[in-house]
Structure 1
Amino acid sequence: MMRRHRHSTRREPTIALINIVFLMLVFFMVAGTLSRPLDSDLRLVRTADLEGRAPPDTLVVHADGRMAYRGKDVASVKAFYAARPEEEREIVRVVPDEALPAVTLVNLARELRAAGASSVVIVTQRGLE
């Protein structure tokens, strides 16, 4: 009589896989909440196929032309630029509202360049994602 040879099946290390997936979930939950929240009534301009970074400190421009920096209203471009530290004056990031007229945005960029900014970066919806 021949004996049947039993094949031993090797179990997958599912506990280790579950731990890794859980750690990734926690990482993305924490990483998604690190950036400073923008004003809730602001609707961003949408663009596609642009590379971008999350805005560290930006000048927020609302549809009515009102400006805010770090949650506080800004009276003028000159006051905003003068209040910035020296190391942050070269590149200025602007987050415009979707309904802000393009003429207003272009004039704002010109004022920032005239104040001394070497580069004005417009942050859009795609750049924040």
Structure 2
Amino acid sequence: MRKSLIVLLCLTVFLSCKNESKSNPEASVTESTSDLKTFKGDFVYFADAAVLQTSGEIYGVIINDKMHELDEQVKVYKSEATDMVPVEIRGIVIPKDEDEDEEGWPLRIDIKEIVNVSKPEAENNNVIKLGKE
């Protein structure tokens, strides 16, 4: 009876231990395709700020070469600098570091692939313009 109790206790301790794998610092730098997610939404880049607005979330977009490539593709469909253009991209979501004292959205996307850029629908362009026309 005592042996079975010790075996049961050892088994319980063994099964309840966490299986923590040691991470290689260089492994976190490499990107896995499983980390990439597809996003569909409206993109705008204006005054050094890039934003992707999906149906459920607004993301800041990391300004890099891929973001500039996307901006060049959406310029074809813009009539105003502030127009948002429907896009489909693949990227990695990066939460904003709470310790950083920077402005911006709590979630950012690092664009890795541009899937599609579409012409905006005219009825979705609800813009209020101030000034003389």
* Higher normalized helix content (fraction of residues): 1
Q: Do these two structures clear the TM 0.5 threshold for a shared fold by scoring above it?
A: no
TM-score interval, smaller chain: under 0.3
Instruction: Select the structure of larger CA radius of gyration.
Output: 1
TM-score of the pair, normalised by structure 2: 0.24
Highest RCO, 1 vs 2 (Cα 8 Å, sep ≥ 6): 1
TM-score of the pair, normalised by structure 1: 0.24
